[in-house]
Every structure is written in structure tokens, then in C-alpha cells.
């Protein structure tokens, strides 16, 4: 009996250790792929894909294979870019509090393994995108190239404009989703590109202000590090104000409900951004802006999807 109990306890311990290792691995993957960043990039791909089907009179059920290729392929390309970013920036990440859980910093993943994983994941993703359309593959590659080469390798350590360069990369995501179904020379994906480009700048400013000490310690020339928080707060407000005209351009395509929701969301963000100049706790204000930027993106995408779903049509 005792031997049987010992064997059972040993099996339970082994199972618990395996579960713990799996959980640790999944957590490491989450930090390696920057969780929220990955989701924020994949969501516009899906949104634009859905909208393209609607505007071209196609049914979602007829494009299941294309949908899976698009979502998996684009996710792999984006993931590959994020892996390469973590591999290259490990020296900066070691100096920053917010990045201490990344497996490239804590040593859970070997740097060489991360490098090759990023390269292979990118290649597989681009090959999968080739089975959709050449245009969608081109946008996928351009987004990857700008993020990895022009942002990570070139501009981030040199210029405050690194934020703008990185924002161009993320703005390609709706073009990817749309171009799988039809050429992206339509007002909807073009406006989505512009909104995503502008949206990312104040979103990143909020992160930079919130983590100012981290970026200062690492020597990354973010706008608040080089020119100060006050300048960044003013620039933040200007960028958000420039979002106001875009809902007007989509009234014909998406209707008045979208217009009013988008305007209300933008005005709410402007009001919040305007409070920055007199905020007592600027870090708390930056966190509120960061949270609002994510809510803005998710709600805008959901409204677009819902208004073009069978529920409203």
C-alpha cells in the first residue's frame, strides 16, 4: 500500500511540475509577444477583413479558408516582428522595470532561440499570406519591415520621431485585412490607416510618460525624455484633435451611428487629454490616457463590425 501511495504522490508531483512549467512557458510567450500589443494589431486586421466582405457583398461563411490564412498569417508576421524587437532590445529591457518579466531579460529563453523564432515565424507568416493576395502580403511585409528595421534597428535609439515611425508600421494592419478580399483603394481602409497611425502616437506618449524613469534610465530618446512632459502633453492633445475629421469621411460608408459614436469617443479623449497640463499626478493621468486609448480602439472596431453585421442589415 505504501509503495502504491508513494507512486501516486510521485505521479501527482510530476503532473504538478509539468503544469507549472507549461504555465510558466505560456506566461513567457505572453510577455515575449507583448500580449496587448499583439491583440491591438490583430484586431484591425479582422475588422477590415470583415468590412471588406460587407462592402463587396461577400458572405463570411464562403471565405473560411481565407479567413484562417489571413488571421494566422498576419498574427505570425506580427509575432515575428515582436520577437525580433525583444531580441534586439534586450540591453534596453534589462534597464527598465516594466520589461523585467520578458523571457529575454530573465533568461527563460535563449537569445539565439528568440532570434531564430522571430525569423522563422515571420517567414511562415508571409508564406501563408501569399496564399491570400500579393497586395495583402506586401502590406504585411511593409508593416514588418518598418517596425523591425526602421523602428527597432534604426530610429528608436536615435530620434524622438521613433514614435511616428512605429505608428506607420501599425497602421498597415487594416490594409492587410481589406486587401485579402479586394484592393485597398477604398475610403474605409484608407481612413482606418490614418486613424490607426494617429491613434498610436498618443497611445505611445501615454506609455512614455507613465514609464518616464524607465526610458530615461535606458537612454531611449522618447519625446518626454528629450523635450519634457509638458511638451509631450501638448503634442498628445494635438494628435488626438486631428482624429476629429475622420468620422465625417465615413458617414456615407458606415452611417450616422458610427459617426456619433466616433465623435463622442474622440471628444471624450480630447477632454481627458486637455486635463494633462493641470494634472496633479501626471503618471495617473497618463495611465488614464493609456486605458482610454485602448477602449477607443476596441469600441471603434466593435461598432464598425456590428454596423456591418446581419443584425443591422
Residue 9 lies in a domain: no
pLDDT confidence tier of residue 4, bands split at 50, 70 and 90: low
* Share above pLDDT 70 across residues of the chain, in percent, rounded to a whole number: 94
Q: Could you give the CA distance from residue 302 to residue 47 in angstroms, rounded to a whole number?
A: 8
3-class SS letters over 39-72: HHHHHHHHHHHHHHHHHCCCCHHHHHHHHHHHHH
Q: Could you give the CA distance from residue 91 to residue 135 in angstroms, rounded to a whole number?
A: 36
211-226 as b/e: b if 16+ CB within 10 A: bbebbeebebbbbbbe
Residue 234 lies in a domain: yes
**Higher pLDDT among residues 24 and 252, named by residue:** 252
DSSP one-letter code for 154: I
Tell me which H or E stretch contains 155.
Answer: none
Residue 292 lies in a domain: yes
Residue 177 lies in a domain: yes
Residue 60 lies in a domain: yes
Give the CATH number of the domain where residue 206 resides. Answer: 1.10.600
Residue 15 lies in a domain: no
If one counts the domains in the chain, the total is: 1
Q: pLDDT tens across 56-94, in order?
A: 999 998 999 999 999 999 999 999 999 999 999 999 999
pLDDT confidence tier of residue 300, bands split at 50, 70 and 90: very high
Q: pLDDT tens across 136-182, in order?
A: 999 999 999 999 999 999 999 999 999 999 999 999 999 999 999 99
Q: Identify the domain containing residue 140 by its residue range.
A: 35-312
Q: Is 7 a residue whose pLDDT tops 70? A: no
Residue 52 lies in a domain: yes
Neighbours of 17 (CB within 10 A): 10
Residue 228 lies in a domain: yes
pLDDT confidence tier of residue 250, bands split at 50, 70 and 90: very high
The three three-digit cell numbers of residue 278, written as one number: 493641470
Residue 2 pLDDT: 52
Q: Is 34 a residue whose pLDDT tops 50? A: yes
**Higher pLDDT among residues 7 and 168, named by residue:** 168
Residue 277 pLDDT: 86
Amino acid at each position: 500500500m505504501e509503495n502504491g501511495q508513494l507512486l501516486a504522490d510521485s505521479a501527482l508531483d510530476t503532473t504538478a511540475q509539468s503544469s507549472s512549467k507549461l504555465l510558466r512557458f505560456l506566461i513567457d510567450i505572453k510577455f515575449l509577444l507583448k500580449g496587448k500589443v499583439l491583440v491591438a494589431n490583430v484586431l484591425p486586421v479582422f475588422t477590415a477583413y470583415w468590412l471588406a466582405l460587407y462592402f463587396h457583398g461577400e458572405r463570411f461563411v464562403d471565405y473560411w479558408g481565407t479567413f484562417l490564412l489571413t488571421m494566422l498569417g498576419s498574427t505570425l508576421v506580427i509575432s515575428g516582428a515582436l520577437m525580433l524587437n525583444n531580441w534586439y532590445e534586450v540591453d534596453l529591457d534589462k534597464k527598465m522595470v516594466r520589461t523585467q518579466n520578458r523571457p529575454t531579460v530573465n533568461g527563460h529563453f535563449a537569445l539565439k532561440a528568440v532570434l531564430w523564432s522571430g525569423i522563422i515565424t515571420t517567414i511562415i507568416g508571409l508564406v501563408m499570406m501569399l496564399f491570400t493576395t500579393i497586395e495583402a502580403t506586401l502590406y504585411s511585409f511593409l508593416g514588418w519591415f518598418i517596425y523591425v528595421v526602421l523602428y527597432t534597428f534604426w530610429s528608436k535609439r536615435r530620434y524622438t520621431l521613433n514614435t511616428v515611425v512605429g505608428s506607420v508600421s501599425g497602421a498597415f494592419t487594416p490594409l492587410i485585412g481589406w486587401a485579402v478580399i479586394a484592393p485597398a483603394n477604398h475610403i474605409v481602409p484608407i481612413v482606418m490607416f490614418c486613424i490607426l497611425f494617429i491613434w498610436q502616437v498618443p497611445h505611445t506618449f501615454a506609455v512614455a510618460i507613465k514609464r518616464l524613469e524607465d526610458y530615461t534610465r535606458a537612454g531611449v530618446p522618447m519625446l518626454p525624455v528629450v523635450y519634457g512632459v509638458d511638451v509631450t502633453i501638448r503634442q498628445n492633445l494635438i494628435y488626438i484633435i486631428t482624429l476629429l475629421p475622420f468620422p465625417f469621411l465615413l458617414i456615407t460608408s458606415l452611417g450616422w451611428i458610427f459617426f456619433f459614436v466616433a465623435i463622442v469617443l474622440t471628444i471624450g479623449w480630447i477632454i481627458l487629454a486637455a486635463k494633462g497640463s493641470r494634472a496633479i499626478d501626471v503618471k495617473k493621468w497618463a495611465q488614464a490616457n493609456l486605458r482610454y486609448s485602448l477602449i477607443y480602439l476596441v469600441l471603434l472596431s466593435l461598432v464598425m463590425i456590428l454596423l456591418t453585421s446581419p443584425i443591422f442589415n
